[in-house]
């Protein structure tokens, strides 16, 4: 994996991934070791290196945007689970996460919001126990 270590973007992305997603993010990268190793690299370099590391918005705001985007496009349950955990990691509260989903009701309707709430419930239950 020498190639990965050599870029600044990969180092910066790995650090951001660890700070934001904790173990959940690294688990996604590890799960890509088979078919999608390069995709794992792009997630680290581009998503967490180039994008998350930008100024103008902090990690809490970025996770607020990320879970909203995942909810609104649908069919992203595994990603929502990772990023609800990430949202908690960077300091958003359970109430704020639920409130983010409630704010989406007028714009996407109830079904996608219910789907996201049930993922949140699952994440919160694990955290609380």
Q: Which residues bind a copy of itself (CB under 8 A)?
A: 28, 31-32, 34-36, 38-39, 42-43, 46-47, 50-52, 54, 56-57, 61-62, 64-66, 68-76, 78-79, 94-96, 98-115, 117-118, 120-121, 124
In terms of Cα–Cα distance, which of 24, 97, 29 is closest to 63? Answer: 97
Sort 52 into a burial class: Cβ within 10 Å, 0-12 / 13-18 / 19+. buried
Output 14 or 62, the one with its CB closest to a copy of itself.
62
Residue 6 beta carbon to a copy of itself: minimum distance, rounded to whole angstroms:
12
3-state secondary structure of 41: helix
Output 23 or 96, the one with its CB closest to a copy of itself.
96
How far apart are the C-alpha atoms of 105 and 126, rounded to whole Å?
A: 25
Output 15 or 117, the one with its CB closest to a copy of itself.
117
């Amino acid at each position: 994996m020498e190639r990965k270590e050599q870029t600044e973007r990969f180092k910066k992305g790995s650090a951001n991934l660890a700070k934001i997603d904790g173990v959940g993010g690294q688990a996604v990268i590890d799960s890509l070791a088979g078919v999608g190793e390069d995709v794992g690299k792009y997630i680290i370099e581009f998503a967490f290196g180039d994008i998350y590391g930008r100024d103008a918005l902090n990690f809490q705001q970025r996770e607020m945007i990320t879970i909203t985007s995942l909810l609104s496009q649908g069919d992203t349950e595994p990603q929502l689970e990772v990023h609800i955990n990430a949202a908690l990691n960077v300091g958003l509260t359970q109430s704020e996460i639920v409130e983010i989903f409630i704010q989406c009701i007028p714009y996407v309707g109830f079904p996608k919001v219910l789907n996201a709430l049930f993922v949140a419930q699952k994440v919160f239950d694990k955290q609380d126990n």
